[in-house]
Structure 1
Amino acid sequence: MLEKQLVQQMGFPKDFLDQLADEKGLTDKEKEVFLSLFGDDLSRIQITLQLNISEGSLKEHLRGIYKKFQIGGKGPGKESRLKDYLTNRYQRWQAENSNSSLFIENTDVSIQTLVKKTRQQIQPYIQECCGTMRVLDMTQPIELGKIYTNVNILEKITGRTWREIAQLQEKVSRENFERWGRGTVKEERIPGIEAAEKFSKLMILGKPGAGKTTFLKHLAIQCIGGAFQAERVPVFITLKDFADIKEHPNLLEYLQRLLKGYSNEMEDISTLTSLLKAGKFFVLLDGLDEVREIDSSRILREIKQLSQQFPQNQFVITCRIAAKEYTFEKFTEVEVADFNEEQIANFSQKWFHSKNDPVKAERFLEKLKQDEPILELATNPLLLTLLCLVFENVGSFPSNRAELYEIGLDVLLKTWDVNRNIERDQVYKGLSLKRKEDLLSRIAHTTFQAGDYFFKKREIERYISEYIQNLPNAKTDPKALELDSEAVLKSIEAQHGLLVERARNIYSFSHLTFHEYLTARKIVTNCNQYDINDPTLRELVSHITEPNWREVFLLTVQMLDSADSFLLNLKTSIDLLVQNNEKVQKFLLWLDHKADSIKIRSSHNLSIRIFYFCAEFIYSFRIFYEAQLIEMVKEFHVDIQKEFHVDIQCEPELSLDHELYLLNQFRDSSSFLPKDAIITSIDDICKHYTFSSDIKIKLQIIKTKLKNLLREFPDPHQEQEKFQKLWASVRPIWCEDIRSLMILWRNIGHNWKFNNEQKKLLQQYYDANLLLVECLNSDCYVSREVRQEIEETLLLPIEEIEKWKSRRKDEH
């Protein structure tokens, strides 16, 4: 019985299978499949890869094999029945062949016993080095199993695909700006564990902080726990530790040194080599990029030698994507994909549940979804961990996002390596940390100004060359500068991951958030923030109508020591947008007069002005069809007390006007339910509000006229098409009656007759003012005088702004 189990687990001898294949008349391809399945004990996936055949071809060959062996039936039982047949034949074959030896059996049994014993002995070691993680400012390690989130793998390396910039930049143009659309060409992903099952020699590449080491640790824990490669012994080797040993042992000696501390059997090198020859090791080699350049060739040679000497074992290596320069011939290269939203949610929920704070987990995700630039950073597991740490301590994200991004940048430029005691080779000695930031800021600003989120390799090398040639002791020879600029680019990509190759020879910043932050940093360091005519700030303000610059505005205002000049510059620019449009100025004048006309009020004048500004955009201009008025008004959360809101219940005139705006909205309805909905609305207005008798008479006339018409209308439930047709015939007349009453009674509902160009201008004016208010209310320093000027002149026509300035001048 034991013999049968061993044979079925380890596979049958080749000469036995060869003899049987010839006896049954298997074709060459059937014989290859037969030997791989029952001799090498390969899985079906491994067979398709080794023989370079499709799954369909494999099934066809298996059908031929089963037929020739006369194995009937359906399903997976056929393979089991053939194994039983082979076992019985093998026992007879052994008896017939005097060359068979119990030595092979005993060796197989001893190998299996040794594997089992070694796995038990090294389990504490695997748990110790792979069972926890601790990064950044974590005060204590956290159990890996509590927070591990399954990674996805790209089988195609993104930086090696052939793409055009136009394909990559499709959804991040100035006209069609979409943060998550960047790099919209998506490669197919597979689960990480599936890639490890599929390939026996695997090189896992990824950006800094992508989760390569964590995934490798997860594989080790899964293996020692029996969930993956349970028949093998996992060994986790940090290549930097191996390279730093003074005696420079070879990898086999190091492996023995590592194991004999836990297993007595490993004192004898022959025992280790026996297990390696039997293919019983799962070798995990972490951080090839962390090996110093002086040791690099030696370590590469050691890995190559061990993997070629003992190819039966499974090997997985991790390396930063841009740092990989050597190609291991037998290894398949894959790339760790960025986290998607599902993985972000999964990780963060596990993180806060491990801290016994599930409520904070939900709040974290809510806040993250409200802030796309921060959400974008969370696609990197390391930066997601940083965000979790910040949120865990503060309960929110910092109001000054620029400070958060500065911390994130510092993590990638310095902290991540320092915390792990990794010293990188400094490619360009004159390029200090600050100079790297300056260089990246210059590249960011230049490319962002040009609207380029993706750029050719030669362009970025030119920017680097222009910068480093001015450094102390810089080379002046053009060829030497070219070589240096290429090396610096590779260094920034490999060591910090802030510039990444999105397609062959096409680069971008790793996150649009960092592109924006570094652009703002360049603006702040270049400008004279106290000069209202500063050209750098004026140039930024010129982009006020471009949606892709919004985040740069918000970051710049937060980074300035004083935002006064910048905000006044911005306010002036917004007012100038509509200065020469007579119709828009007329509308703004009406808006000011309407706000002043509200007699009973508890809200600030600006709040009321904003209310009617937003109402006209929805109900009169119909620029925002689906918008909710109160939600739009709340976006302009600005007033003297910083508690802006309009409570319609406390503002009877605003409440009445809101009801009338809603009533007038029936002009856009092709049908409505119930049939008497308009009549009910008019009755509610008459019931809840006080007005003069002549207005009441006019309302009653309109109501009666409509009531008589609707009496002839069919039920919209039953005959919707007929109802729509009848309503379309009377709607213009009724709507004009309502609109005339609104103008006469409340001075609202005017037909402004804006053309499409003017509506586009009004949309830009709206967006620009909303951005100004966001800047004003961000974590920036602005004087009380400047804040007051902006609040009191917001949404005013030019002539009223000039009057306000004149009054203020007289007061001073």
Structure 2
Amino acid sequence: MISPDLISGIAFWVFKSLWESRDETYKLLSQRLNQSIFYASKEYQANYISRHGFIRQEEFRPSVPLTKLYISPSLVDHEIPAYSRNKSSIYYKEIDYLNKLKLTQSGDSLFSQHKHLIVKGDSGIGKTTFLKKLGLEAFSAEEDASVGGYIPVFIQMSQCFDKDIDFQNMIEEEFQICGFPEYEGFVESALRRGKLLILIDEIDAIPHQFQDDVLVKIKSFSDLYKSNRIILACRKSLDIKILTHFHSVNILGFGRSQIQKYIYKVNQIQYKEPVSAVTCQEIWQKIGEKDKATRLIVHNPFCLSIVLSLYQASAHRLSGRTILYEKILSNLLGTSISPGTLDLAYKGSKNSIEARIGILSEMAYVCLKSGRNYFHKVEIHRLYGAIVQKRNLQYDQLNFASTREENLNDFLINASENLYQFSNPLVQKILVSHYLMSSLKILDESIDQFLDTPSWKDVFIFLAGMQGADYLLSIIQSRIFYNLKSPSLSNFMNWIEAVSEDVCISSNQAVNRCYVAFMVFEIMLLFGDRGSEQSIISSILKKIKEVISLLDPECHLIKSINPRSIDDIKLSSNHFIDPKIAKGLSLERLLDLAAILSQKAQAYKLINYSNSQRLLSTILHIRKQLEGRSMSAYHRKVCEKNLYMLWMNSFDMADSNFKFTTDDLQSFHLYCRGTCLIVHCLREAFYVSGKLQDNVIQALFTNPFPALALTSNS
């Protein structure tokens, strides 16, 4: 039910526009007709609020009043060059930068300068909501405000399927359904007096073959009634050169502060009570800074709403990135193309959406497979044509070019004059996942060829989230096992299994095995003579840490030392060593670190008590002897080598067992990366059988080739 206090203002403007009219007919209105118009005016406002005053999105049930959730977006009156953006740039940071330079504007400042505006932006960026909010403001605004003194009329062009459009008739229908007496004469009078705020949404949704005719009609209509305010909304791709007297602005979405305000409002509506700033900041940290899948899209209000909904539904943790990007993909496919424009038909396909995703997914696959980020316009056009021909799609030859542009819109952006790139790398990768689902042969080839390629990691994770993951996990597991086939790595995995039986860092035995491997490489990085291999060892440590944090988020081994404050903090047993600071540590600090690591290893039962005490006392003795003395680089290296030997003895393992070659380290890094991928797939999987899941977890950091290790030992 519409609140009575919302029904105010419009009756005044309706009467004012009538009685100021020079049309003598309306000056002779009877008192009874006056009352009819007054009540019809109230009905019009109530109808507008009912239809356009609420956020109707799946994530908000029941619908939420627009005024309670609305955050004003950032606007610019010029196009931001796409070539200045990195492929994976964080868009909200660029908006913050523009805000800082004061290059963005508010709606009020733009409306005070221009009566006729075109608001352009990406799908889901808030164009429709922006127009609806302008209409709501007109009901309560003062006459001297930017939208004050105008009666809002909202026209949805997505409902128009031909070129026979009469804008005056469409406006009359808005008043007719509210019971306005003499609505035709009233609309004519209001138009001539310039009393309407005409909001025309989704003009790009008109079938492409009719768009030029409709734009001509908009120009003629706006020229005839130029004293009215007319605001249009469309996507960036629409060619609007004919509308010369319209000023074009771009809606960018949200910067950091706007996102945080939106988070606060959404949570306040969700919990129906004030939410603490600390809670909102925690949510922001997770979705805006830490998670790669969300920080690329949180500037977009539609996507941000989905992110917050999934965050709340997942007990305040981020999961289900496949669901998130499937919803985004569905929105792009369903709303970013004109009805009737896609005159393509799969043989056996049910609708044009299926045809479109078939084309886009294969294009995404070919582009990702190439290993390039940018593609010449000619390449894109040829690839599109080849795929259409390969799939036996039927199309209208005359409209082929325009249909192609419609299909590619919102997925590919023009990075420069002749170069294209995918606007969001994760949208590209979920499209690739759709393509891989269509062919088991292509899936096997892709796993075989790209499993160790970092840019394909998200493809396999999406694939696990879109279907049963048993087959995918089995193939990946068998592939990564081959990275452990060398005798030295096989022996190392046997040793990890044996030592980890007593380790108590976690109740998950796989985490304990990860910790053993982590500790060994941590010691190797700090004290082993591995100068030329430090980067690969540090990469191994990062991947093992990621696996641990995925398997057991509550595990203590997930904090890092900030290299900037290494000399100012007291190292705790929870810290792991950031490889970037290893070279910069003084020998005294290195010995302090060795002492802390020995205590941590003993606490988690990686080494026994007697070995730990022997190691600790030796370290402290060396530390005391060196206190206040200078030391050459040579003597430091000797000291580090002795520390390394002490650690090997404490592990009850000869140094020869850790003599990994560079090839061994690279193979182990690939194994760790593959293990990380498996755990991500398990977390994201739409379905995985319980038995396989247990087997996969139990096999992490174990020796898949025990016979090889036995042969080597003999």
Whether the TM-score (by the shorter chain) exceeds 0.5 is: yes
- Do residues 203 (structure 1) and 121 (structure 2) align? no
Within the candidate set 515, 522, 526, 1:611 is matched to: 515
Classify the secondary structure of the residue corresponding to 1:146: helix
Within the candidate set 360, 364, 375, 1:444 is matched to: 364
Partners in 2 of 1:241 and 1:766 — Cα distance? 50
Structure 1 residues 109 and 356 mapped into 2: Cα distance closer, same or farther (>3 Å)? farther
Contact 2:306 2:324 in 1 (8 A): no
Contact 1:661 1:749 in 2 (8 A): no
Structure 1 residues 434 and 235 mapped into 2: Cα distance closer, same or farther (>3 Å)? same
Shift of 1:258: 3.7
Shift of 1:441: 1.4
Per-residue CA deviations over 1:325-357 (Å, capped at 9, x if unaligned) read 552011122322244444333323322312335
Classify the secondary structure of the residue corresponding to 1:203: strand
Contact 2:253 2:300 in 1 (8 A): yes
Partners in 2 of 1:470 and 1:666 — Cα distance? 55
Per-residue CA deviations over 1:651-710 (Å, capped at 9, x if unaligned) read xxxxxxx89999x99996317589999889999999999979899678656644542442
Q: Hey, what does 2:190 align to over in structure 1?
A: 272
Q: Hey, what does 2:78 align to over in structure 1?
A: 156
Partners in 2 of 1:595 and 1:628 — Cα distance? 18
Within the candidate set 524, 530, 551, 2:458 is matched to: 551
Q: Hey, what does 1:670 align to over in structure 2?
A: 586
Classify the secondary structure of the residue corresponding to 1:336: strand
Partners in 1 of 2:594 and 2:59 — Cα distance? 62
Shift of 1:131: 3.0
Classify the secondary structure of the residue corresponding to 1:766: helix
Partners in 1 of 2:187 and 2:695 — Cα distance? 82
Classify the secondary structure of the residue corresponding to 2:141: coil
Partners in 2 of 1:231 and 1:559 — Cα distance? 50
Given residue 237 of structure 1, which amino acid in structure 2 is its aligned partner?
F
Contact 1:541 1:569 in 2 (8 A): no
Contact 1:377 1:513 in 2 (8 A): no
Partners in 1 of 2:298 and 2:575 — Cα distance? 46
Q: List runs of 5+ in structure 1 lacking aligned partners.
A: 1-105, 173-177, 528-533, 649-657, 714-722, 806-812
Within the candidate set 648, 651, 668, 1:743 is matched to: 648
Partners in 1 of 2:574 and 2:160 — Cα distance? 76
Within the candidate set 332, 335, 344, 2:247 is matched to: 332
Q: Hey, what does 1:216 align to over in structure 2?
A: 131
Partners in 2 of 1:297 and 1:348 — Cα distance? 40
Shift of 1:283: 3.5
Within the candidate set 191, 205, 209, 1:290 is matched to: 205
Within the candidate set 105, 108, 124, 1:191 is matched to: 105
Q: Hey, what does 2:678 align to over in structure 1?
A: 772
Per-residue CA deviations over 1:483-531 (Å, capped at 9, x if unaligned) read 554233223245xx3444444454444432221111112112211xxxx
Q: Hey, what does 1:66 align to over in structure 2?
A: none
Shift of 1:598: 5.9
Contact 2:496 2:701 in 1 (8 A): no
Partners in 1 of 2:211 and 2:679 — Cα distance? 54
- Do residues 590 (structure 1) and 462 (structure 2) align? no
Shift of 1:187: 9.6
Partners in 2 of 1:380 and 1:768 — Cα distance? 32
Structure 1 segment 791-802 matched on structure 2, within 5 A: 791-796=697-702, 799-800=705-706
**Residues matched between the structures, number:** 633
Q: Hey, what does 2:382 align to over in structure 1?
A: 462
Per-residue CA deviations over 1:566-613 (Å, capped at 9, x if unaligned) read 333323332334645xxxx52552352254146745666644331121
Given residue 381 of structure 2, which amino acid in structure 1 is its aligned partner?
E
Per mean C-alpha deviation after superposition, the further-off stretch among 285-294 and 511-520 is: 285-294
Partners in 2 of 1:331 and 1:399 — Cα distance? 44
Shift of 1:436: 1.8
Shift of 1:560: 4.0
Higher relative contact order (CA 8 A, sep 6+): 2
- Do residues 238 (structure 1) and 155 (structure 2) align? yes
Structure 1 residues 262 and 506 mapped into 2: Cα distance closer, same or farther (>3 Å)? farther
Contact 2:468 2:687 in 1 (8 A): yes
Q: Hey, what does 1:103 align to over in structure 2?
A: none
Shift of 1:425: 4.0
Structure 1 residues 728 and 245 mapped into 2: Cα distance closer, same or farther (>3 Å)? closer
Shift of 1:211: 1.1
Structure 1 segment 640-655 matched on structure 2, within 5 A: none
Partners in 2 of 1:123 and 1:516 — Cα distance? 45
Partners in 2 of 1:556 and 1:265 — Cα distance? 56
Structure 1 segment 702-721 matched on structure 2, within 5 A: 703-704=620-621, 706-710=623-627, 713=628
Q: List runs of 5+ in structure 2 lacking aligned partners.
A: 1-18, 28-36, 527-533, 558-572
Within the candidate set 252, 265, 273, 1:350 is matched to: 265
Shift of 1:537: 1.6
Contact 1:517 1:552 in 2 (8 A): yes
- Do residues 520 (structure 1) and 433 (structure 2) align? yes
Contact 2:503 2:604 in 1 (8 A): no
Partners in 1 of 2:450 and 2:171 — Cα distance? 60
Structure 1 segment 409-558 matched on structure 2, within 5 A: 409-414=329-334, 423-430=339-346, 432-470=352-390, 474=394, 485-493=400-408, 497-527=410-440, 534=441, 536-558=443-465
Classify the secondary structure of the residue corresponding to 1:636: helix
The RMSD of aligned alpha carbons is 5.2
Structure 1 residues 388 and 700 mapped into 2: Cα distance closer, same or farther (>3 Å)? closer
- Do residues 572 (structure 1) and 478 (structure 2) align? yes
Per-residue CA deviations over 1:160-180 (Å, capped at 9, x if unaligned) read x585xxx76xx55xxxxx564
Contact 2:488 2:660 in 1 (8 A): no
Q: Which protein is bigger by CA-based radius of gyration?
A: 1
Partners in 2 of 1:136 and 1:696 — Cα distance? 61
Structure 1 residues 301 and 342 mapped into 2: Cα distance closer, same or farther (>3 Å)? same
Partners in 2 of 1:293 and 1:679 — Cα distance? 72
- Do residues 225 (structure 1) and 161 (structure 2) align? no
Given residue 190 of structure 1, which amino acid in structure 2 is its aligned partner?
T
Partners in 1 of 2:45 and 2:280 — Cα distance? 33
Per-residue CA deviations over 1:619-666 (Å, capped at 9, x if unaligned) read 31355899998995573368xxx8798789xxxxxxxxx89999x999
- Identity of paired residues, percent? 16
Partners in 2 of 1:381 and 1:608 — Cα distance? 42
Partners in 2 of 1:449 and 1:285 — Cα distance? 42
Instruction: Give TM-score scaled by structure 2 length.
Output: 0.71
Given residue 590 of structure 1, which amino acid in structure 2 is its aligned partner?
F
Q: Hey, what does 1:636 align to over in structure 2?
A: 548
Classify the secondary structure of the residue corresponding to 2:215: helix
Classify the secondary structure of the residue corresponding to 2:438: helix
Contact 1:323 1:490 in 2 (8 A): no
Given residue 432 of structure 2, which amino acid in structure 1 is its aligned partner?
T
Per mean C-alpha deviation after superposition, the further-off stretch among 371-380 and 266-275 is: 266-275
Q: Hey, what does 2:566 align to over in structure 1?
A: none
Partners in 2 of 1:362 and 1:688 — Cα distance? 34
Contact 2:489 2:664 in 1 (8 A): no
Structure 1 residues 557 and 726 mapped into 2: Cα distance closer, same or farther (>3 Å)? same
Partners in 2 of 1:242 and 1:697 — Cα distance? 81
Contact 1:679 1:707 in 2 (8 A): no
Partners in 2 of 1:686 and 1:536 — Cα distance? 46
Classify the secondary structure of the residue corresponding to 2:450: coil
Contact 1:344 1:379 in 2 (8 A): yes
Within the candidate set 37, 49, 55, 1:133 is matched to: 55
